[in-house]
Structure formats: structure tokens, C-alpha cells
Amino acid sequence: MTSPGRLLGRHRRTLLAAAGVIFAGIAAALMPPPAALAEPGTRAGIAALVSAAIVASATLPFLIWRSVARPVLWIALAVSALVAGVASFAVSGYAERTCTATYAGKPVVIGTEMTPLGAAYKRANPELANDDLLFDAAGLAERIWTPSSIGRCRAFTGGTYFLAVPFLVVCLLATAEAVPATILSPVRWGAAASKPGDGTVAVRYDVFISYRHDPIDRAFVTELVAALEADGYRVAIDERDFLANASFLFEMERCIRESRFTLAVISPRYLESGNALEEAIISKVLDMGDRKRRLIPLVIEAVPLPAWLYGIVGIDCTKRDPLVNPYDKLRATLGAPMA
């Protein structure tokens, strides 16, 4: 069986994250390093690698474990990245102020720990600033500050000047992932149910998903709903959209009537006797002509299709190397999401 992630357009989230990683690396590489640091080319390369690694490590868990990719967690990641980015910018400014001094109009990396000579000179001239101390040392920072502290300052300054870039990219990525699931396709808790048999029924959903409550099928459907709603579709699913105080049969029929399409996730488990209920309701609500237009069998494991699905092409997800990505075919069948 094709893995659910492959079917569900994991490529959307993966490509967005990959674009963020690439952008973060390029931006960090092109970002001008502090003037006091030498070898800008080498530092730009290191900055690019570290920046890309930060973005990748922040987004990778959400790509691997799609079940944890909930809007609230994306929002938490966005806020955390924003806070870290602002903190990195502030630390970078502090590092540059603390660890550099100006000599002959050019910034020079200094240290935070003075040599015995530098300490004695500072005690004798407490009014002198770091620029003055560096000037009196003829621009040789090692005369005033210890080489080890100068090295630490060089690493501190060079290691913080670009960190705001990857954190800002992570913030933007997380915000982009959170918006479709929270604003474009909000959860419709407590929506008023329409009654079957009332004539014209208002269409409220793009698709209703019928599936078997088995761990394998449920995991597949969880990713399917996340992918569809990330693309702007309004999805009806029993665990979320059925009213708690209503009949299961009534709610299933209502969602089928109020959806442009009904998607049946077909597996051997779905076709067991326990799923005769779904077959009966779908067959009742959709006549044969309507069924061919509105019912989409989505086969996730090879299984002979029953008579009530006869004549419907459906979407086969069991092929190892399909000519067309099943999720792309599903989106093409659904068409554009409702406004």
C-alpha cells in the first residue's frame, strides 16, 4: 500500500520547508558579517549551513509526525521562533558592542578579560573607554586583552550575528502552516444540522470522508484531513463534525447531503460486515447516477470493489509508482475549494 504521507501531498509541506531551509541558508550567506571579523567568505559558508540546519531541525518533527502538526503547535512554534529571533538580534547587538572597539576608523575584535598590563593601565586611567585603550595600544588588542578572551569574543560575535535569520524563517513557515487550518478552514463545532428530506440542502462541505475506525485507516484519514484542510478544503468527518447529541445515522446522512463529494476510504477492513452501515446510507442518499458524480472510492489497499461501487473509476493508491500522484488526482476531482 502506498504510504499515507505519499498520497496526501506531503510534498506541499516538504517543499515549503525545503524552500525555507534554502532561503535561510542563502540569506545567512549573503548577510554582511560584522566588519571586525576576518575571512567573511568562510564565515558566510558556516553561517549558511548553521542557518539551514536550524530551520530544518525546527520543521522536521512536524514533517515526520504529521499527527502532531496541529494549528496550536504551529502557532506555538511561530511564537517561540519569533521570541528567539528577537533575542538573537538583541544578543548580536550586545556582542558587537561588548566585543569590538574602533581603531583608525575600523572595528577590531577585543576581549572581556584584560592582561596584567592592560589591567594596570586601566586602573591608572579608569576614564578611558575601550576605543581609547585600543588606540593607546597602537591597535594591538592582545596588549590589553587576553588572547583567549579575544577568541571567545570573536566566536561569540561571529556566532550570533546571523541567528535572527533562521528564526525569522521558522516563524514565517510556522505561521504559513497555521493559517490555513485555523482561518481558511475553521472547525465548525456545533453547526446547525439540516434535516434530510427538506428539498434543497445547502452545501457546507467540499467532501465528507467515510472510513473504518481501525488504527491503520484512522491514521491514514487523519493525514488526509490535515492535507485537504491545509489546501483550503472544508472537510466533514464524524469524530469532529457529527453533533454529540444527534443520531449517528442522521448525522452521516446529513454530512453526505451537505457535501459536494463523499470520499470512501476503501480497505479490506472497510468492506467487512461492520461497514454495511456506510454502504446502506451512501446508497440510500445517492442514487446510481448521483453516485457516479459525487462518490469517490479511495482504495488504500488492494481489494475487490463491491457492487455498490460498480462503474466508478475511483483513485487507486496501491500502485508503487503511479503515473499521477493520487493526492493530485483527488484534488483535481474535487476541484477548487468552496469560497
Asked whether the predicted pLDDT for residue 330 surpasses 70, the reply is yes
d(Cα 169, Cα 262) in Å, to the nearest integer? Answer: 38
Q: What is the mean pLDDT of residues 307-334?
A: 85
> Residue 283: its pLDDT value, please?
61
Higher pLDDT, 178 or 264: 264
> Residue 252: its pLDDT value, please?
86
> Residue 12: its pLDDT value, please?
63
> Residue 320: its pLDDT value, please?
79
- Topology of the domain covering 186-334: Rossmann fold (3.40.50)
Higher pLDDT, 90 or 196: 90
High-pLDDT (> 90) share of the chain, %? 19
C-beta of residue 167 within 8 angstroms of C-beta of residue 80: no
pLDDT tens track for 240-255 = 988 888 888 888 888 9
> Residue 233: its pLDDT value, please?
94
Q: What is the mean pLDDT of residues 275-302?
A: 71
> Residue 319: its pLDDT value, please?
85
pLDDT tens track for 179-238 = 644 333 333 433 444 444 444 568 899 999 988 888 889 999 999 999 999 999 999 998
Asked whether the predicted pLDDT for residue 79 surpasses 70, the reply is yes
C-beta of residue 134 within 8 angstroms of C-beta of residue 101: yes
pLDDT band at 272 (very low <50, low <70, confident <90, very high): confident
Asked whether the predicted pLDDT for residue 324 surpasses 50, the reply is yes
| Minimum mean pLDDT range among 33-37, 115-119, 220-224 | 33-37
Asked whether the predicted pLDDT for residue 141 surpasses 70, the reply is yes
Q: What is the mean pLDDT of residues 294-299?
A: 88
> Residue 64: its pLDDT value, please?
64
Span(s) in the chain for CATH 3.40.50.10140: 186-334
> Residue 329: its pLDDT value, please?
92
pLDDT band at 274 (very low <50, low <70, confident <90, very high): low
Tell me the pTM: 0.48
Asked whether the predicted pLDDT for residue 6 surpasses 50, the reply is no
> Residue 8: its pLDDT value, please?
45
> Residue 59: its pLDDT value, please?
79
